Chain A
Amino acid sequence: MTAGRALPITVRGLVRRYGKVAALDGVDLDVAQGEFLTLLGPSGSGKTTLLMIMAGFTRPDAGSVKFGNVEMVRTPPHKRNLGVVFQSYALFPHMDVAANVAFPLTLRGVGGAERERRVKQALEQVQLGALGGRRVDQLSGGQRQRVALARAIVFEPGILLMDEPLSALDKKLREQMQIELRHLHRSLGTTVIYVTHDQREALTLSDRIAVIDQGQIQQIDTPQRLYEEPASHFVADFIGDSTFVPVTVAGGVARWRDVPLRLPTAPRDGAYLLVLRPEKLVLGGAPDLNGIDAEVAEIVYQGDSVRVDVRLAGGDIVTLRELARAGRIAALPPPGSIVRLGFDPADTLLVPAP
């Protein structure tokens, strides 16, 4: 199974209403050939609706969906030649593993030794070579997930749609499958649209992430740019454990209360929110860091790290994380102490106040 057949996707002006609620409110999206694009958003944001419209299971009220140069919006699902992996896996319980994987080949008139060879190859690609004869109900959750994947790629579709495929797995298996999906995407070269509400999964897997809320794409960017340069309060809040404190910019200088903050680039004057993320903050800190005073409110031991909640003047609680290394926990100032909260000017991020 090789790349080259992968198709770009072009979405224009997609609208879908349920009664008065717009599940999708004019969505435009360009996905490059072979790209791994994740639709990330809270439940009810419209991400699944967008995927279901691409798959052909939901009719939009208006808009265009093109695979390559071909308009697909009125094409029934069985003529779209898409691989779809469902959250429920939807493996046919009345067929064994091999029959499930062979199903799309049979429908395409592939039979005999050729079909057998391709089923075997697809199962090997998801590391399930030996399980072709098993019944579906004899498989573990992780194995079912792999069979669903094998069935979706065996007919070499140019586009693979995945609807929260890992959400039913436990954390350890989920993380392992994320890495395997990365590798599989690289070896197949297929265009992938992936829906999830798990930000870490999105960051791990994607070439680009489209953050969706209220039926609109809020920001679409690479994982790093999305995390480091969120365009809005919503994106900064949805990705990462952020705390926000109000900041004003006047005359090119940003101030939290009366404390001036150095910034990589000064934005236009106005009201902003300072994005404080646990891993960017230190207690104490050198003079070349931005610093604001705070009182230690609570210290919680969490195994790999210690969570330290500090209270700023004005009452905002900010969380920072100290890695649990030898001596570090004992050295933490006890609750009630006044400390200086330090963060690098390059990590000092403002988003427009909503």
Chain B
Amino acid sequence: MTAEAVADRLNAAGIRADARREKSALAALTAPSFVILGLMLFIPVGWLFWLSFIEDGAFSLENYTRMVVEPAYRSIFLTTLELSVLVTVLSVLLGYPVAYMIAMLPPRAASITLTLVLVPFWTAILVRTYAWLVLLQRRGVVNSVLMSWGIIDEPLQLVHNFTGTAIGMLHIMIPFLVLPLYANMRAIDRDYVRAAASLGASPVTAFFKVYLPLSIPGLAAGTVMVFIICLGFYITPQFLGGGRVTTISMKIQQNVATYFNWGAASSLGVVLFLSTILIFWGFSRLFPLRRITEVGGS
């Protein structure tokens, strides 16, 4: 039957019109968010991008060459990278067992525990950061307890430095790791580990040969999320770093607020943005994220 013949058939035109109407209704519903995204994100970002190539009203690459040439910038990049890697690795080590435990709990207990993990999300990051300040400072709770138990004689320098920044960020990041990982683990059929055991795998072997590989997609999703958020983190290093830790986002803020140098700030923003995209792309090539939902299915 030719296409023309079908077109003339009973109700064909009306049915096609219905399909079109459904599509345009969907488009109308999503249009507002697209417009807002376009106006509020792409235009300002595009403008900043353009600014980063302007110096004294003319096109210039100075904002970018400065990053390569000046040692101060190199140490900022290094600090940000070190902090992000450390916090990401610790998040994985601490978060994986938590996600695993929640995934193994019966549904009711699992949802309660998951809520406990999520409670910090309901509190502002600033509040949590100040809470850490209270806990970690020289005469803070942690030092007092350690000293009263005789474990230490002098208060430890736990805050206003790299250590304090890492502790505060770790606390904020762990839920970002646990959530995607838990979702992945929940979808892993328990029969896989049972099958491995029946075939002769000890619990440790079954974990490393079967469970861990099946949880890699969720682990990768959580890891990349934590790492990317770390790269652009501002509040915690600002308040717990005590001026000894300078991250890229802090330098951006400095460039804008102290030096009014929008070009320098923009160029850092562009570099941060591009490296984020690059990391995300690299990860998605290594671990196809879409497979999270497929594992354990069927």
Chain A positions near chain B (C-beta within 8 angstroms): 55-57, 76-78, 80-84, 86-88, 90, 92-94, 103-104, 107-108, 137, 151-152, 155, 161
For B92, the chain A residues whose CB sits under 8 A away are: none
Tell me if B189 and A90 are in contact (CB < 8 A).
yes
For A86, the chain B residues whose CB sits under 8 A away are: 191, 194-195
Chain B positions near chain A (C-beta within 8 angstroms): 189, 191-192, 194-203, 205-206, 209-210, 213-214, 294-296, 298
8 residue pairs of the A-B complex, CB under 8 angstroms, read: A82-B198, A84-B194, A90-B192, A92-B195, A103-B199, A103-B209, A107-B201, A155-B200
Q: How far is the CB of B17 from chain A (nearest CB, A)?
A: 39
For A107, the chain B residues whose CB sits under 8 A away are: 199-201, 205
Closest to B213 in A: A94
Tell me if A90 and B191 are in contact (CB < 8 A).
yes
Tell me if A104 and B214 are in contact (CB < 8 A).
no
Q: How far is the CB of A45 from chain B (nearest CB, A)?
A: 21
Q: Which of A78, A84, A86 is the most central at the interface, judged by chain B CB atoms within 10 Å of its CB?
A: A78
Closest to A77 in B: B197
Tell me if B214 and A94 are in contact (CB < 8 A).
yes
CA distance A81 to B189 in the complex (A): 22
For B196, the chain A residues whose CB sits under 8 A away are: 78, 92, 103
Tell me if B192 and A92 are in contact (CB < 8 A).
yes
Q: Which of A82, A83, A93, A94 is the most central at the interface, judged by chain B CB atoms within 10 Å of its CB?
A: A93
Tell me if B191 and A88 are in contact (CB < 8 A).
yes
For A88, the chain B residues whose CB sits under 8 A away are: 189, 191
Tell me if A155 and B199 are in contact (CB < 8 A).
yes
Tell me if A151 and B194 are in contact (CB < 8 A).
no
CA distance A76 to B192 in the complex (A): 16
For A83, the chain B residues whose CB sits under 8 A away are: 198
CA distance A107 to B209 in the complex (A): 11
Q: How far is the CB of B201 from chain A (nearest CB, A)?
A: 6
For A78, the chain B residues whose CB sits under 8 A away are: 196-203, 205-206
For B200, the chain A residues whose CB sits under 8 A away are: 78, 81, 104, 107-108, 155
For A94, the chain B residues whose CB sits under 8 A away are: 213-214
Q: How far is the CB of B203 from chain A (nearest CB, A)?
A: 8
For A77, the chain B residues whose CB sits under 8 A away are: 194, 197-198
Q: How far is the CB of B106 from chain A (nearest CB, A)?
A: 12
Closest to A168 in B: B298
For B202, the chain A residues whose CB sits under 8 A away are: 76, 78
Q: How far is the CB of B143 from chain A (nearest CB, A)?
A: 46
For A137, the chain B residues whose CB sits under 8 A away are: 294, 298
Closest to B195 in A: A90
CA distance A55 to B189 in the complex (A): 17
Q: Which of B200, B210, B213 is the most central at the interface, judged by chain A CB atoms within 10 Å of its CB?
A: B200
For B195, the chain A residues whose CB sits under 8 A away are: 84, 86, 90, 92
Tell me if B295 and A93 are in contact (CB < 8 A).
yes
Q: How far is the CB of B151 from chain A (nearest CB, A)?
A: 39
For A82, the chain B residues whose CB sits under 8 A away are: 198
Q: How far is the CB of B293 from chain A (nearest CB, A)?
A: 12
Tell me if A57 and B199 are in contact (CB < 8 A).
no
CA distance A137 to B196 in the complex (A): 19
For A55, the chain B residues whose CB sits under 8 A away are: 194, 198
Q: Which of B195, B199, B209, B214 is the most central at the interface, judged by chain A CB atoms within 10 Å of its CB?
A: B199
CA distance A93 to B191 in the complex (A): 12
For A92, the chain B residues whose CB sits under 8 A away are: 192, 195-196, 210, 214
For A80, the chain B residues whose CB sits under 8 A away are: 198
**Residue in contact with A151 in the complex, picked from B197, B199, B214, CB distance below 8 Å:** B199
Q: How far is the CB of B228 from chain A (nearest CB, A)?
A: 26
For B210, the chain A residues whose CB sits under 8 A away are: 92
CA distance A86 to B119 in the complex (A): 39
Q: How far is the CB of A164 from chain B (nearest CB, A)?
A: 12
* 6 closest Cβ pairs, A-B complex: A90-B195, A90-B191, A104-B199, A84-B198, A77-B197, A107-B200
CA distance A76 to B298 in the complex (A): 28
Closest to A148 in B: B195
Closest to B206 in A: A78
Closest to B210 in A: A92
CA distance A82 to B294 in the complex (A): 29
Q: How far is the CB of B232 from chain A (nearest CB, A)?
A: 33
For B199, the chain A residues whose CB sits under 8 A away are: 78, 103-104, 107, 151-152, 155
**Residue in contact with B197 in the complex, picked from A56, A155, A161, CB distance below 8 Å:** A56
Q: Known contacts A88-B191, A94-B213, A94-B214; decide if A76 and B295 are in contact (CB<8 Å).
A: no
CA distance A100 to B196 in the complex (A): 10
For B298, the chain A residues whose CB sits under 8 A away are: 137
Q: How far is the CB of B24 from chain A (nearest CB, A)?
A: 36
Q: How far is the CB of B225 from chain A (nearest CB, A)?
A: 22
CA distance A32 to B191 in the complex (A): 28
CA distance A84 to B202 in the complex (A): 16
CA distance A206 to B298 in the complex (A): 29
Q: How far is the CB of A160 from chain B (nearest CB, A)?
A: 10
